[in-house]
């Protein structure tokens, strides 16, 4: 790999030009090396079985061994013995060497076996393998832009939203504390995806993962939608799946923000939610992203009783969250000025910038338990949600 060193913001033009020259030389050395050998050394062959290697059996020693090799997320791991991995492969119902995708930025081959190895290390249940396989397919869709998500200084992290019968079969949490701790499937599935991003995709914290601070969701960000409390069509149906199907939707997120309102008036509730969305340091306003709102069942019922469809809610949020361009810093003003020129035309300080190009691109899901707390999930900006059936 050729690594472009951060940061740029504090460097002069001449310093950046010198760095660019060094990076070009790195790229040329890689190309010359691979042309001479006839192979791309950074991409493991898809048909290569995982190697058996000796690893310590004692827990603390095994964890230290994994940390030394950048195989750990910092939490305890379970030894992926051949017997354990075989149970996961069998649960997938597919050939162990079947290639699901290559995970950016290092484009390691995510075979069923390699997905199983990482899942086994997190104590994930083998029955979750079809969900993980669908999630890998989704994050590697070009629309998701995993290359950007994995290497940005933003705190971007994939969020898995599971719909359909598989969520109940796995006992996933869609209710109280669904984005928090306490549920084994939510935690282990989200964590397994994180290990895949790191161990096959090269997204090692501090190496390729260059997040300035990161976020807790990078350990694992996974839940089911509370379809029983949802007065509208669930997310996967809205995104083209059959009502009885199981599906995984992946969203590139920049974190979560609690939205606490006791309002029982739909207009009032949408007004304060829209005000929460509008903030001048948002990637979504700069690049027209894909933000989400997780509506508490109580808030969803307030909106539904007022006769609003999900499309109505999105339209109102889109209209009322438009932000005056003058709220942006002078430097940040140039981002939408260029990135959204084709969509918005010439911007002035008085221009009203919408959070997305269209209302439909605001995501709305219903999840959580009793209470007046909904969640704003700002997007990464340069990514689009992707859904795959399980």
Interval 298-321 mean pLDDT:
98
pLDDT at 33: 83
pLDDT at 10: 81
Q: What is the pLDDT of residues 272-294, one digit of tens each?
A: 999 999 999 999 999 999 999 99
pLDDT at 44: 53
Q: What is the pLDDT of residues 335-351, one digit of tens each?
A: 999 999 999 999 999 99
With a pLDDT cut of 90, the percent of the chain lying above it is 88
pLDDT at 42: 45
pLDDT(40) > 50: no
Beta strands in the chain (DSSP E): 99-103, 108-111, 157-163, 222-224, 247-253, 257-260, 292-295, 323-324, 352-353, 363-366, 373-377, 386-389
Higher pLDDT, 137 or 3: 137
| Whether 390 contacts 247, CB under 8 Å | yes
Name which of 297, 231, 299 is nearest 260 in CA terms. 299
pLDDT at 47: 65
Tokens 């900006």, located at residue: 381
Q: What is the pLDDT of residues 82-102, one digit of tens each?
A: 999 999 999 999 999 999 999
Q: How far apart are the first and last CA of the chain?
A: 33
pLDDT(35) > 80: no
pLDDT at 11: 87
Helix (H) or strand (E) holding 389: strand 386-389
Q: What is the reported pTM?
A: 0.91
Q: State the greatest distance between any 2 C-alpha atoms of the chain, in Å, as a whole number.
A: 69
DSSP helix, strand, coil percent of the chain (3-state; round to 5): 45, 15, 45
Poorest-confidence range of 16-30, 57-71, 103-117, 310-324?
Answer: 16-30
């Amino acid at each position: 790999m050729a690594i472009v060193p951060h940061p740029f913001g504090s460097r002069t033009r001449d310093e950046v030009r010198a760095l660019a020259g060094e990076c070009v030389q790195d790229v040329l050395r890689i190309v010359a090396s691979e042309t001479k050998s006839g192979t791309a050394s950074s991409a493991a062959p898809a048909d290569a079985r995982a190697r058996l290697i000796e690893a310590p059996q004692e827990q603390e020693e095994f964890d230290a061994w994994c940390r030394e090799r950048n195989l750990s997320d910092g939490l305890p791991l379970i030894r992926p013995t051949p017997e354990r991995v075989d149970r996961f492969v069998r649960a997938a119902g597919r050939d162990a060497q079947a290639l699901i995708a290559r995970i950016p930025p290092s484009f390691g081959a995510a075979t069923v076996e390699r997905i199983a190895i990482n899942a086994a290390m997190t104590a994930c249940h083998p029955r979750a393998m079809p969900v993980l396989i669908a999630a890998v397919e989704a994050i590697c869709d070009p629309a998701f832009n995993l290359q950007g998500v994995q290497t940005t200084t933003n705190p971007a992290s994939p969020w898995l939203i599971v719909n359909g019968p598989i969520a109940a079969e796995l006992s996933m949490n869609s209710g109280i504390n669904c984005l928090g701790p306490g549920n084994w499937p939510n935690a282990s599935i989200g964590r397994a995806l994180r290990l895949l991003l790191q161990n096959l995709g090269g997204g090692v914290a501090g190496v390729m993962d260059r997040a300035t601070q990161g976020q807790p969701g990078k350990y694992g960000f996974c839940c089911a939608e509370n379809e029983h409390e949802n007065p509208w069509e669930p997310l996967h149906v809205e995104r083209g799946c059959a009502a009885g199907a199981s599906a995984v939707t992946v969203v590139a997120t920049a974190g979560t923000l609690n939205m606490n309102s006791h309002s029982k008036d739909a207009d009032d509730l949408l007004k304060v939610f829209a005000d929460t969305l509008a903030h001048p340091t948002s990637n979504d306003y700069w690049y027209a992203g894909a933000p989400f709102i997780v509506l508490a069942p109580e808030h969803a019922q307030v909106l539904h009783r007022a006769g609003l469809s999900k499309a109505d809610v999105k339209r109102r949020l889109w209209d009322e969250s438009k932000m005056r361009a003058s709220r942006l810093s002078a430097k940040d003003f140039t981002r939408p000025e260029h990135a959204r020129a084709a969509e918005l035309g010439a911007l002035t300080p008085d221009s009203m910038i919408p959070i997305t190009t269209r209302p439909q691109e605001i995501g709305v899901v219903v999840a959580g338990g009793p209470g007046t707390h909904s969640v704003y999930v700002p997007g990464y900006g340069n990514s689009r949600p992707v859904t795959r059936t399980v």
